[in-house]
Structure 1
Amino acid sequence: MTEIPLVRLLYPLALALLVAWWYISWSGDRKTPWAGLARMLAQLLLVGYVLAYIFQTEHVLVVLGTLALMSLAAGWIALRTETKKRIRLYPYALLGVVGGGGLALLVAVELVLRPEPWWKPSVLIPLGGMAFSNAMNAVSLAAERFFSERREGKGPTRARAAAYKAALIPATNALFAVGIVSIPGLMTGQILAGVSPLIAARYQILVMLMVYAAAGLAAAVFLEAVRRLAVDGEAGY
């Protein structure tokens, strides 16, 4: 794969800065675009060094510890829109992320890819990131829609149905668009690295199934938990 000199990243950065300028000019919000861009740059530069270390490790606990930190962060970030209920909802969001994302990851890695060793970091960490991030997004959308429906007077079961449908919109859209509207990052990267498009397609099918399952399972676990709280008459649910 062609190595990208750092200086060439200034070109897409210029476009991103243009978008940030429009955002600030039209919305008056000066904080969000700069904070987002700064965090993205810092986090990706940092994660590059961290992953270089993790990929060379021979300790299973380092790999599992990394996955645990990823899931803990994902559960917390998923509730960004529910600040007043965040602490109370966190165990259920974490259960959704770990249960849904973890099960999808387990099936993809241990039943399909079967790396040696089973905890091979170059396989487990990237796929874990995909599974947990999609689970996180699904839980976030589910939480926002569920409580929005509840505030409008909908019952717990109807709110759950609407929230589950909303939570799966991104993952479902991706299923329809893949290969037609977009060529996903994993497949693009493999093709650029010289892998046969047919083999790359198999890996992408695996990833698409994994992230769809992760999103659906995570949202289902979270929504069923909060629905039961609402049925039991817990305040605020």
Structure 2
Amino acid sequence: MGHDIQNIPLLNLALSFIPVLFALAILFKWSLESSNALYALARMLVQLLLVGYLLSYIFNADNAAIVITVLAIMVFASSWIALGTIPIKRNLLYKQAFLSILVGGGFTLLVITQGVLNLKPWYLPQIIIPLAGMIFANAMNSVSLAAERIHAEIDRHVSYLEARRIALHASLIPVINSLFAVGLVSLPGMMTGQILSGVSPLIAVRYQIMVMCMIFASSVLSAAFFLVLAKPIFSTRFTKPQ
């Protein structure tokens, strides 16, 4: 169990696109949006390459100001993306989404990095940035689902309290499902990566428990905080006359 994860040569990496080509051929044959899928794949490739170089720079710089800037960008971007389910209300609800993700995700990140892991230094980029990415991404998804659901329920003239309950429940379906499935249906990314790199499964399990706790907490806190902050807006401006 002491081996390092192997490096993937570029030629070997290119082989991973063979099944992708078959998948694209099926989309094209069935007259689906193969061009959109091709664009998405190309964008994925460019984005990941750029992120790889950027993270290498950030890790080598070991600078607290750079880490804080990256975290701020994550929160700003995730807040904007979260409202993609109701784009015409983005400007109206952006502040609520931003504060929700900042408080719900930020509090969780603080407890995990400074309490559970006790990072030295506190801003250790190799740890805090990947964890922040997981936390803010899941908080973003929960806020997004909550925003879409409460908007739909209010439009159906459901009371705010009932709409809030329905919205929070809907926003947590992916997280709850992942809690049920972890270890039984799937081995999540962090646990798989650690096992591949030679870490004992018993240690990998501890880290995965930490990850699942932080994902669940940040999702619930952010979605609930958003629904509370957005009450005045959803209770007045979105309600249609009977």
Structure 2 Cα separation of the partners of residues 215 and 25 of structure 1: 39
Q: Of the candidates 107, 112, 118, which is equivalent to residue 108 of structure 1?
A: 112
Structure 1: tracts of 5 or more residues without a match: none
Residue identity matched to 2:197: A
User: Deviation per CA, 1:9-58, whole angstroms, max 9, x where unpaired?
Assistant: 33433333444454566574455423322221111111000000111123
**8 Å CA contact retained: 2:113, 2:119:** yes
**8 Å CA contact retained: 1:157, 1:227:** no
Instruction: Map residues 35-50 of structure 1 onto 2, 5 A cutoff.
Output: 35-50=39-54
1:73: which partner in 2? Answer: 77
1:234: which partner in 2? Answer: 237
Q: Which of the pair has more CA radius of gyration?
A: 2
CA root-mean-square deviation: 1.9
Residue identity matched to 1:2: Q
Residues 82/26 of structure 1: CA separation in 2 closer, same or farther (3 Å cut): farther
Structure 2: tracts of 5 or more residues without a match: none
Residues 16/152 of structure 1: CA separation in 2 closer, same or farther (3 Å cut): farther
TM-score (norm: length of structure 1): 0.92
Q: Of the candidates 50, 55, 62, which is equivalent to residue 58 of structure 1?
A: 62
Say yes or no: does 1:169 pair with 2:173: yes
What secondary structure sits across from 1:78 in the alignment?
Answer: helix
Structure 2 Cα separation of the partners of residues 20 and 90 of structure 1: 37
Seq. identity, %: 47
**8 Å CA contact retained: 2:151, 2:238:** no
User: Deviation per CA, 1:198-219, whole angstroms, max 9, x where unpaired?
Assistant: 1111011001100111111110
Residues 196/13 of structure 1: CA separation in 2 closer, same or farther (3 Å cut): same
Structure 2 Cα separation of the partners of residues 145 and 12 of structure 1: 38
* Range moving further from structure 2, 36-45 or 135-144: 36-45
Residues 105/11 of structure 1: CA separation in 2 closer, same or farther (3 Å cut): same
1:145: which partner in 2? Answer: 149
Structure 2 Cα separation of the partners of residues 145 and 15 of structure 1: 36
TM-score (norm: length of structure 2): 0.90
Structure 2 Cα separation of the partners of residues 24 and 156 of structure 1: 45
Deviation at 1:67, TM superposition (A): 0.5
Deviation at 1:132, TM superposition (A): 0.4
Q: Of the candidates 209, 214, 220, which is equivalent to residue 210 of structure 1?
A: 214
Instruction: Map residues 79-228 of structure 1 onto 2, 5 A cutoff.
Output: 79-228=83-232
Deviation at 1:81, TM superposition (A): 1.8
- The alignment of Structure 1 onto Structure 2 pairs a total of residues equal to 236
Residues 98/187 of structure 1: CA separation in 2 closer, same or farther (3 Å cut): same
**8 Å CA contact retained: 2:151, 2:234:** no
Structure 1 Cα separation of the partners of residues 42 and 136 of structure 2: 23
Structure 2 Cα separation of the partners of residues 25 and 99 of structure 1: 47
Residues 192/104 of structure 1: CA separation in 2 closer, same or farther (3 Å cut): same
